[in-house]
A and B are shown apart, each in its own frame.
Chain A
Amino acid sequence: MARILLIDDDDQFRTLLRKMLEKAGYNDVEEANDGRIGVKLFRQRPFDLVITDIIMPDKEGIETIIELTEDYPQIKIIAMSGGGRIGPQDYLETARRLGASRALAKPFNYSDLVDTVRELLGV
C-alpha cells in the first residue's frame, strides 16, 4: 500500500484530499498543516508520495520541496497552487524546476488528482 503525505495549511481542503485519496483506494495517508511538520514526518519514515501546497504561512512549499529533494533525490512530489501575486502556473513552474514531479493548479477535480497520483505511483 502506497503511503502518501499531504501538506496543506487549509484544513478543509486537506481533509478533502484525504477523502478523495481514500475513495481512490489510497488509505495510508498522513497529513501535515505546514512544511515543517511535513518534513519531520517524512524524515521519520519516508513516504511514496508527497502532495504539497506551495503558499503556506509557516514553512512554505517551495522551501519544503527544496529541502526534501536535496535529501531524497528520488522523492515523488505533487505541488499544488492556486497562485498568489503571480499566477498559479508560475508557482507551479517554480515547483517543477525545483524538483516536484507534477504540478496541479487549484482548483482541480477528483480525476485530476487521482490520475496524477496513479501516474506517479503506478498503482
Chain B
Amino acid sequence: MIADKKNGMSIPDRTHAELVAEIMTLRKHLAETEEDNRRLQQRCQDIKAIGAGEDEKYGLIAVDITDQKDIKLQLPHSHKMEEVEAMAGVIAHDLNNILSSMIGYTELAMDEPDEKERLYDLQQVMRSCDRAKSLVSRIISLSGGVNVDMQPVDLSILVMGTDPEQKTPGGSGERILLVDDDEMLVKLGRGMLMKLGYTVSEAADSSLALRMFMENPEAYDLVITDMTMPGMNGLELAREIRNIRTDIPTILCTGYSELVDEEKAKQEGFNCFIQKPLHIRELAVAVRDVLAGQKTWK
C-alpha cells in the first residue's frame, strides 16, 4: 500500500504515472472487500498531497483501511478513535453534499419566476432535508446510546388512500396549545397546524404554557409539547397540565433525547410520541388520530 500513516511514513517524490498506478492499486484493493464496506472504505481513503516543490513533484500519504472491515469490531481504543475520526470525516462529507443542495436549490427557488420550476426547486430542498434527516438517524444509531425507532417514514403509505390533510376537517377549529422553546419551530408548527385547519395558541416557554393552560383549561382540545426546554421539560409540563385537567390529550414532540422514548412517553400518559424533524403529514396524522380518540400506540 502507498503509505502507512500509523507508522508515520510518507512517500516523498512521485511522478504522475506512479501516483496514478498507486491510486489504481489502492482502489482495486479496496474494491475487493465486502460490498457493504466498499463505499465507506473508499470514502475513508486518506489521500493528501504534501510539500510539492517547485519541480512539481508530488508527495502522497494514504491510509489503507482494508483490514478494518467491520466498523463495529472491538478494536483497541486507539483504533476506535481512528474509526471515529474516519466516520466524522464521512459524515462531514455527506453533510456538506446535502447542504450544497439545500443552499443551491433554495437560492434558485428564491429567484425563480416560474411557478413550476420553483416548486421543483423546493421539492429538491425537501429531498435534501430528508437526506439530512436520515444522516442524523445514522449518526444516532452509530452513537448507539439512544434507542429510538429510526425507520424512515414512508410518506407514500401516509399519502396512500387517506390524505390526512384532506380528511382533517378544514377549519374544524379544534384548539391546540403548542409548546416549544425554539421560536422558529413554534412558528413553523403553528403554521402547519393552521394549514391543517386547527386553531393554535403558542408558547415558547413551558411556564408561560402552564399559565395559559391554568387560566382556561377548557380552552384547549390538545397540548403538543417539546421535550427539552429550559425550566420545566415536556414531561414535567404535561404532568402539571394533567393535574389541572386529567382528560386533556397530549402529544410529545421531541428531537433526539436521551431522557425519553416512545415507551417512556406512553408510560407518562402521552397519547402520542412524534419525532422532530417532522413532515406536515406526520403531524397531521398524529393530531388527527389523537383528537379522534384513536390509539396511536402499537
Q: Determine whether A46 belongs to the interface, using a CB cutoff of 8 Å to chain B.
A: no
Q: Determine whether A103 belongs to the interface, using a CB cutoff of 8 Å to chain B.
A: no
Q: Determine whether B245 belongs to the interface, using a CB cutoff of 8 Å to chain A.
A: no
* Contact across chains for A16 and B124 when beta carbons are under 8 A apart: yes
Closest to B46 in A: A85
State in angstroms the CA–CA spacing of A4 and B89 once bound together.
30
A-side contacts of B270, CB under 8 Å: none
Q: Determine whether A19 belongs to the interface, using a CB cutoff of 8 Å to chain B.
A: yes
A-side contacts of B38, CB under 8 Å: 57
Closest to A10 in B: B97
Identify A20's interface contact among B43, B58, B90, B104, CB under 8 A. B104
* Contact across chains for B90 and A109 when beta carbons are under 8 A apart: no
Q: Would you give the 0/1 interface string for B11-27, flagging 1 where the beta carbon is closer than 8 Å to chain A?
A: 00000100110011001
Interface residues in B1-52 by Cβ distance below 8 A to A read 16, 19-20, 23-24, 27, 38-39, 42-49, 52
Q: Determine whether A29 belongs to the interface, using a CB cutoff of 8 Å to chain B.
A: no
Most chain-B CB neighbours within 10 Å: which of A20, A60, A67, A82? A82
Q: Determine whether B81 belongs to the interface, using a CB cutoff of 8 Å to chain A.
A: no
State in angstroms the CA–CA spacing of A8 and B16 once bound together.
23
* Contact across chains for A94 and B101 when beta carbons are under 8 A apart: no
* Contact across chains for B108 and A20 when beta carbons are under 8 A apart: yes
Closest to B124 in A: A12
Q: Determine whether B275 belongs to the interface, using a CB cutoff of 8 Å to chain A.
A: no
Q: Determine whether B268 belongs to the interface, using a CB cutoff of 8 Å to chain A.
A: no
* Contact across chains for B101 and A16 when beta carbons are under 8 A apart: yes
Q: Determine whether B219 belongs to the interface, using a CB cutoff of 8 Å to chain A.
A: no
* Contact across chains for B97 and A13 when beta carbons are under 8 A apart: yes
State in angstroms the CA–CA spacing of A81 and B95 once bound together.
11
Q: Determine whether B250 belongs to the interface, using a CB cutoff of 8 Å to chain A.
A: no
Closest to A85 in B: B89
Tally of chain A residues near chain B (CB < 8 A): 38
Task: Given A12-B124, A20-B104, check contact A83 B89 (CB 8 Å).
Answer: yes
* Contact across chains for B48 and A90 when beta carbons are under 8 A apart: yes
State in angstroms the CA–CA spacing of A109 and B101 once bound together.
9
Q: Determine whether B103 belongs to the interface, using a CB cutoff of 8 Å to chain A.
A: yes
Q: Determine whether B127 belongs to the interface, using a CB cutoff of 8 Å to chain A.
A: yes
Q: Determine whether A122 belongs to the interface, using a CB cutoff of 8 Å to chain B.
A: no
* Contact across chains for B99 and A106 when beta carbons are under 8 A apart: yes
Identify A16's interface contact among B58, B63, B108, CB under 8 A. B108
State in angstroms the CA–CA spacing of A82 and B43 once bound together.
11
* Contact across chains for B89 and A16 when beta carbons are under 8 A apart: no
State in angstroms the CA–CA spacing of A70 and B20 once bound together.
11
B-side contacts of A72, CB under 8 Å: none
Q: Would you give the 0/1 interface string for A11-50, flagging 1 where the beta carbon is closer than 8 Å to chain B?
A: 0110111011001000000000000000000000000000
Interface residues in A93-113 by Cβ distance below 8 A to B read 93-94, 97-98, 105-110
* Contact across chains for A107 and B96 when beta carbons are under 8 A apart: yes
* Contact across chains for B99 and A85 when beta carbons are under 8 A apart: no
Q: Would you give the 0/1 interface string for A53-64, flagging 1 where the beta carbon is closer than 8 Å to chain B?
A: 001010110110
B-side contacts of A98, CB under 8 Å: 19, 49, 58
The 17 sampled A-B contact pairs (Cβ below 8 Å) are A10-B97, A12-B128, A13-B97, A57-B38, A57-B42, A60-B27, A66-B20, A70-B16, A70-B20, A82-B96, A83-B93, A84-B89, A85-B44, A86-B47, A90-B48, A94-B47, A109-B103
Binding site for B on A (CB under 8 A): 10, 12-13, 15-17, 19-20, 23, 55, 57, 59-60, 62-63, 66-67, 70, 81-88, 90-91, 93-94, 97-98, 105-110
